[in-house]
Amino acid sequence: MSIDNTILKLITEASLVVQIVMAILVLSSLLSWALMLIKSSQLRAATRQLEKFEDRFWSGISFKKLYDDLAHKAKLQGMEKIFFSGYHEYLRIYQNENITHLPKVTTAQRAMRVAESRELDRLEQNLSFLATVGSISTYIGLFGTVWGIMNSFISLGQMQQATLAVVAPGIAEALIATAIGLLTAIPAIVAYNRFSDKTDRIAVRYENFREEFTTLLERQTLNTKAQ
């Protein structure tokens, strides 16, 4: 309890610049943790939706039936959006007799690629904030430390008789800024790497699905022509 009171006292009695540095770091930490919770929930939901759609897609349901079911959903995300965009474009060209110069499957693949890019952009949104916090928080904390130590040595030079007890509080309050910087940076870096890995894994599954669905559309087109 006495240690907590001592640290709190050092923070409240720190110089204005060091207090501003600490405030910036604490605010960055709070924003980072809020973003971590949001991103964690978003990526878990994206993974669940992806697995659910894959199970239904490979269950043997017809593309048209799946397309019609998705057309009634208020909001499509992830693999649903990729499938719907591709098959919608495929049907649009297939059913329009006036369009003969466009390859159906290639056009559908382009539509799926655009939808995939938008979905990944949504998943990656604000991840750069975590990377920024993780990379600069230690330097911001170090700036507060350097400033605090500099003030301590300036005060030391103005005294006739200097002792460790005189400069220790100033150095201690300066080092607290570095500690807060580390506590802010480390979780942000860990979360950024974790979320980036999860996003990359989802991106691979999106790409694999797009290629597999393209192959199925090509096979369907060939069978239709053969008939």
pLDDT in tens, 9-45: 767 767 788 888 889 999 999 999 999 999 999 999 9
Q: How far apart are the C-alpha atoms of 101 and 98, rounded to whole Å?
A: 9
The residue with greater pLDDT, 20 or 98, is 20
- Give the number of other CB atoms < 10 A from CB of residue 19: 16
Instruction: Please check the confidence at residue 100 and state whether its pLDDT lies above 60.
Output: no
Amino acid at 152: S
Candidates 81, 50, 44, 77; CA nearest to 198 is: 44
The residue with greater pLDDT, 101 or 186, is 186
**Domain positions in the chain:** 28-226
Candidates 32, 21, 4, 31; CA nearest to 180 is: 21
Residue located via tokens 């200097």: 162
Instruction: Please check the confidence at residue 169 and state whether its pLDDT lies above 90.
Output: no
Residue located via tokens 């500690």: 179
Q: What is the pLDDT of residue 1?
A: 44
Q: What is the pLDDT of residue 2?
A: 47
The 10s digit of each residue's pLDDT in 116-136 is: 999 999 999 999 999 999 999
The residue with greater pLDDT, 29 or 2, is 29
Instruction: Please check the confidence at residue 193 and state whether its pLDDT lies above 60.
Output: yes
Report the half-sphere exposure of 4 (CA within 13 A, side-chain side): 1
The pLDDT-based confidence of 174 (bands split at 50, 70, 90) is confident
The pLDDT-based confidence of 175 (bands split at 50, 70, 90) is confident
Q: What is the pLDDT of residue 164?
A: 57
Q: How far apart are the C-alpha atoms of 213 and 219, rounded to whole Å?
A: 10
The pLDDT-based confidence of 201 (bands split at 50, 70, 90) is very high
Q: How far apart are the C-alpha atoms of 124 and 147, rounded to whole Å?
A: 36
Q: What is the pLDDT of residue 13?
A: 67
